[in-house]
Amino acid sequence: MLKYTNSDIVFQEIPDEVALAINVSGCPCRCPGCHSPYLWNDVGEPLTNEAIDNLIAQCHNNITCVALMGGDACAAEVNRLMQHLRQRHKKLHTAWYSGRSLLAPALNLDNFDYIKLGPYLKHLGSLRSTRTNQRMYKVVNGKMLDITSHFWRK
């Protein structure tokens, strides 16, 4: 089971969305230069359907998207949680920030609106850098469209 440490409403992680970002712990990627190394540890509360529903309820309809920030330790569980979001919170978009370079085979793209792939490589920078190795995709009709350039707007 995945665990989470905290959450926050964010405006820059997903283009054109106000997202509830949920920080998932137990990250196996351990990227050098990671901005959240505390998420490498298996700490926090279980990330259950009920926990997600409660976090969403606390947002008082002020969000358009739910983003899991991590969860690479169990992509199948990320997929299951996103499926729950699709069924229970139909108006909200879904997003996943993964530190992996490739999409996990356990994922059903129908459960996602956005997926970020790629480890953080300090010398290439984050999504805001035109040199980044990371990619943000919007899922449209079962296809992943690269929208990384949306982060480069001036």
Please state the domain count of the chain: 1
Cβ–Cβ < 8 Å for 113, 93: yes
Instruction: Give the pLDDT of residue 35.
Output: 81
Domain range for 59 is 3-152
> What is the CATH number for 49?
3.20.20.70
b/e 109-129 (16+ beta carbons within 10 angstroms → b): bebbbbbbbbbbbeeeeebee
Nearest in space to 110 (alpha carbons), one of 94, 99, 128, 98: 94
Instruction: Give the pLDDT of residue 36.
Output: 87
> Averaged over 36-59, what is the pLDDT?
95
Q: Residue 154: pLDDT above 80?
A: no
Cβ–Cβ < 8 Å for 115, 134: no
Instruction: Give the pLDDT of residue 106.
Output: 79
Q: Residue 121: pLDDT above 70?
A: yes
In this prediction, residue 60 has a pLDDT band, given cuts at 50, 70 and 90, of confident
User: Quick one: what percent of the chain has pLDDT higher than 70?
Assistant: 99
Give the pLDDT confidence of 85-120 residue by residue, as tens digits: 999 999 999 999 999 999 988 799 999 999 999 999
**Burial (CB count <10 Å: 0-12, 13-18, 19+), residue 39:** buried
In this prediction, residue 42 has a pLDDT band, given cuts at 50, 70 and 90, of very high
